[in-house]
Structure 1
């Protein structure tokens, strides 16, 4: 289960950014999961909640966007989108000569924070 390691690293980055901007609490995190990341969404959600305990991000709302695999089929010369990483053939022509353009990582796309009130 590499989701725990991904969440720990993401939390390090989230807290560093939050502190750098004077945040007292992280209220929302938006993650984009690459189509070929082999990340299980339910495991990611569980691990994220676990690693956020007793941190600035505890109780924050997690938003996950699963990226689709964009492809170019050299056989029918069409752009296609694969809905699953298990498909290795073009759904239009059944060709297997695909150039797959998909990320295999997890990216932090956006943070929502509460800032310290300056008086």
Structure 2
């Protein structure tokens, strides 16, 4: 179950960001972009995240997953389409092979809301993790 390793990596990155920020007392929520082609089962990730947060600064934090649909662009005709699941990488317009997979592989932290000594639920404004 690679969702547990993903959950642990997310927790580690959030803890590092909280440490850099200083006086963080609790993490309330973590928002992720999860591409439909990333091979992640959202319910399994939520379950693993909840288990892995026990005893950490993130205990009780909510995991919010924003799905990102897979999209491709045909190199020969420049048509773009939703690839769906299972992915269809053949252009529905001309039958050519997809030249570019534009989205759908994302797995990144986009926001964290935490409490610190000064301000409750202060959100971060920049991603703290890059695409896997």
TM-score w.r.t. the length of structure 1 is 0.84
Secondary structure of 2:45's partner?
A: helix
1:93 aligns with 2:93: yes
Where do 1:15-94 residues align within 5 Å?
15-21=15-21, 22-90=23-91, 92-93=92-93
- Structure 1, unpaired ranges of 5+: none
**Higher mean C-alpha deviation, range 75-84 or range 39-48:** 75-84
Superposition RMSD in Å? 2.1
How far is 1:94 from its partner?
Answer: 6.4
**What residue in structure 2 maps to residue 8 of structure 1?**
8
Q: Distance in 2 between the 1:85 and 1:110 partners? A: 29
How far is 1:81 from its partner?
Answer: 2.4
Whether the aligned pair in 2 keeps the contact of 1:27 and 1:112 (CA below 8 Å) is yes
How far is 1:106 from its partner?
Answer: 1.8
How far is 1:9 from its partner?
Answer: 1.0
Secondary structure of 2:43's partner?
A: helix
Q: How many residues align?
A: 117
Q: Distance in 2 between the 1:8 and 1:55 partners? A: 11
Q: Distance in 2 between the 1:75 and 1:84 partners? A: 23
Secondary structure of 1:111's partner?
A: strand
The Cα offsets for residues 30-67 of structure 1, whole Å up to 9 and x where unpaired, read as 01113321111111011010100111111112110121
Secondary structure of 1:43's partner?
A: helix
TM-score w.r.t. the length of structure 2 is 0.77
- RCO comparison, higher one (Cα < 8 Å, 6+): 1
Change (3 A) 1:69 1:103: closer
